[in-house]
A and B are shown apart, each in its own frame.
Chain A
Amino acid sequence: MEYFHSVTLDTDRCHGCITCVKRCPTEAIRVKNGKATIIRERCIDCGECIRVCPHHAKKAVFDKLELLKEYDYNVALPAPALYGQFNNLSNIDYVLTGLLSLGFDDVFEVARAAELVSELTRQILSDPGQVRPVISTACPAIVRLIRVRFPKLIPHLLKVKAPVDVAAEIARKEAAQKTGLPPGRIGVFFIAPCPAKVTAMHQPIGMEKSELSGVLAISDIYKPLLAAMNKIEQPKPLSGCGLTGISWGYTGGEATALLRNKYLAADGMENVINILEEIEDEKLRDLDFVELGACVSGCVGGCLNIENPYIARTRVRQLRKYMPVAGSHMKDFDLVPEAYLWNAPVEYDPVMQLDQDLQAAMRKMQEIQRIEKELPGIDCSACGSPSCHAFAVDVVEETAKMSDCLLVLKNRLKDIME
């Protein structure tokens, strides 16, 4: 399997420190020959390394505004998090009108599609036969994490497309009807808060193919957008979402829209992994819904935003003030119910497994245990692996050698000297 990743490394900037190695939730990074390398099968594009790198050597790959030239008609799909990036914003229409000035012909707010996803999720939860708790699939890094680390929880995943994918479907269809252009000549671009969404477009989970033409970063269009917004005298009345939709921009927004009390909403990789462990051990039995986001505060915490997540969250919340509860309803859109649902199976991707064959895996584990006894156990990561245990695994997998451990090497030298 070929793995596409939005998260990449700028080797010139990388000092070979171990900050990212230690923080990666899937132990996907090693420092080799003084530079970080990403194990492609393991990376879930959560963006944690981008956030923590003190030298800004980790970067996200995303599309540029120039890509709009390739299409005859372009629609922008702004994430709710975008609205939290501006100081003193009183009206979302300023942002949407600003996007038109950047070269888009139309906008379709992801927040509107989020309201449709909320409506459908409420229907799914009213089915008593549904496996519970249902786990949100809006954050692609979480879906990827579950696929590589929590196979037992795959049946709990909400098999509904993420709001951006529903938005892309509707936007392309509406634009084709409006312009008479063939759907392939219409560009549909997500204005995204995180690299996981870039990966999700290139390598969708639960969908055969993404309807998006490209994913732009909030941080990349921020400057021209702000300049365009400052020139607006009278914004166009473009917004069609309610407070339900924009609340998806931060943790708890999706869950509260379900109008049920038995929910849990958590964010940040460490908390998320703890919660998934608890669900896996059946310790959280009486919940209907679990909303999980890789980033602290939710999508406003994505590493492609400009503003501090807590500030952005407060701003989005304040924008809700005069908004209707929901601006969009499924009956207003000409989509068959199947169009909202996943259309490809999601299977366990056992990247952490030592071997396909149990006996071979057990032999490797015994070897790992033997090696671990020789290691100092201080998890210093000077070898480039995240822990002594991970290093022992790397030695057995022959991607590292014993002498990469400085303390083992020191002891060996001492033996020679004596």
Chain B
Amino acid sequence: MEPIILKYQVDGSDFSMAGEASSSVKKTLKQLGFSPDLIRRVAIAMYEGEINMVIHADGGEATVEISQSGVRIILADHGPGIKDVALAMQEGYSTAPDEVRNLGFGAGMGLPNIKKYSDDLKVETELGVGTTLTIQINT
């Protein structure tokens, strides 16, 4: 069976809009009858990803593929890229600017949380070109 595909533009200029895509995905997953645990993991991982796109990359595109075995979230941005992926995966490491930290973001838990809540995480990044996260969450 073909997966269900949802596509979103993540607006990079506005924090108040971050989370809209994950909220919409959550609604769809509930309508489909996925388990609360899967929905929770998808919502958290996707929200963290969306926030990252707003903080670091001025937005991007989110594509969600829903199949019977699980959910794949592809977050693609055209931001500066990640210099050191291994470092970025460490809890507490953050390059978020101060004004973002003052809003309560930038605790350096974004990527570590995405990894924690997903079954597989692929980070493809090129400096000056952008970053694509592929997050797989299985039922």
Residues on A lying within 8 angstroms of B by beta carbon are 149, 151-152, 277, 280-283, 348, 350, 352-356, 358-359, 361-363, 365-366, 369, 393
With a CB–CB cut-off of 8 A, which chain B residues contact A366?
A: 2, 4
The docked-state distance in angstroms from the alpha carbon of A362 to that of B44 is 22
Interface of A is mostly: helix
B68 pairs with A353, CB closer than 8 A: no
| Whole-angstrom distance between the Cβ of A270 and the nearest chain B Cβ | 13
A282-B68 CB under 8 A given contacts A277-B23, A361-B31: no
Residues on A with beta carbons closer than 8 Å to the beta carbon of B39: 152
Question: In the complex, what residue of chain B is closest to A278 when comparing beta carbons?
Answer: B19
A24 CB to nearest B CB, Å = 15
Over the window 15-36 of chain B, the binary record of Cβ atoms lying under 8 Å from chain A Cβ atoms (1 yes, 0 no) is: 0000000110010101111101
A358-B68, A369-B4 in contact; A282/B33 too (CB < 8 A)? Answer: no
Q: Which of B59-101 contact A (CB under 8 A)?
A: 66-68
Given the complex of chains A and B, what is the CA–CA distance between A312 and B98 in angstroms? Answer: 44
Q: Write out the residue numbers on chain A whose beta carbons fall within 8 Å of the beta carbon of B54.
A: none
Contacts of B47 in A (CB 8 A): 281, 283
Q: Shortest beta-carbon distance, B136 to chain A, in Å?
A: 18
Task: Please indicate which of the listed interface residues B28, B30, B39, B47 has the most CB atoms of chain A within 10 Å of its own CB.
Answer: B30
Chain B neighbourhood of A151, CB < 8 A: 36
Query: Which listed residue, B2, B33, B37, B40, touches A281 by the CB 8 Å rule?
Result: B40
Q: Give complex CA distance A152, B31 in Å.
A: 14
Which residue of A280, A353, A356, A362 contacts B66 across the interface (Cβ within 8 Å)?
A362
Question: Is B103 located at the chain interface by the 8 A CB criterion?
Answer: no
Point out the residues of chain A lying under 8 angstroms from B44, CB to CB: 281-282
**7 residue pairs A–B, Cβ–Cβ below 8 Å:** A151-B36, A277-B26, A348-B36, A355-B33, A359-B68, A366-B2, A393-B31
Distance (Å) between the CB of A335 and the closest chain B CB? 34
Q: How far is the CB of A173 from chain B (nearest CB, A)?
A: 39
Which one, B4, B31, B34, B43, contacts A280 given CB within 8 A? B43
Contacts of B67 in A (CB 8 A): 362
Residues of B within 8 A of A365 (CB): 4, 28, 31-32, 66
Contact across chains for B40 and A362 when beta carbons are under 8 A apart: no
In the bound complex, residues from chain B placing their C-beta under 8 Å from that of A369 are 4
* Complex contacts, B28 vs chain A, CB 8 Å: 365
Closest-by-CB residue of A relative to B23 is A277
With CB as the reference atom, state the residue of chain B lying closest to A365. B4
Q: Which chain B positions have C-beta within 8 A of A362?
A: 1, 4, 32, 66-68
> Given that A281-B47, A365-B4, A366-B4 are known contacts, is A149 also in contact with B30, CB under 8 Å in the complex?
yes
Evaluate contact between A280 and B1: CB separation under 8 angstroms: no
